[in-house]
Amino acid sequence: MKYLCQVWFDGATLDSMTQEEKAELDTNSLDYDKDLVDSGHMIVAQALQPPKSAVTVRVRNGELSVTDGPFAETKEALGGFILIEAKDLNDAIRIASGIPLAKLGAIEVRPIHEFGAQ
């Protein structure tokens, strides 16, 4: 089964880190991604630009509305995602617990809905 691991964290936490701490986090994250590739669990992983770079799009009654920034102000923001293959939810949780940013934020694990799957 496929699972989306959404990586949520408070940007202020990263802002308060030293350059060395950030470099170590980057190295640990890239190393874990490589481990997931090597184990066959990785499908794709991407880091996201900060929330201030986002736009929110809505269509209501045929009218388009575009707003700068994320949908809602929150302390934690979506910082990236990893799409994985796991045998079940417990396996996906085990994999998500190894994501280095789990120590600083939260990893939301959500099964992928496969249209047409029986």
pLDDT, tens digit, 9 for 90 and up, residues 55-97: 889 999 999 999 987 766 678 889 999 999 999 999 999 999 9
DSSP for residue 81: E
Candidates 3.30.70.1060, 3.30.465.10, 3.40.1390.10, 3.30.460.10; CATH matching 2-111 = 3.30.70.1060
Exposed/middle/buried for 104, CB within 10 Å: 0-12, 13-18, 19+? middle
Q: Report in angstroms the alpha-carbon separations of 115 from 42, 43, 81.
A: 21, 18, 21
pLDDT score for 85 = 98
Q: Are 1 and 112 in contact (CB under 8 A)?
A: yes
Mean pLDDT for the stretch of residues 31-41 = 98
Q: Domain segments of the chain: what residues?
A: 2-111
- Chain segment 43-62, per-residue pLDDT in tens: 999 999 988 898 889 999 99
Round to whole Å and give the CA distance between 7 and 109. Answer: 9
Beta pairing partners, 69: none
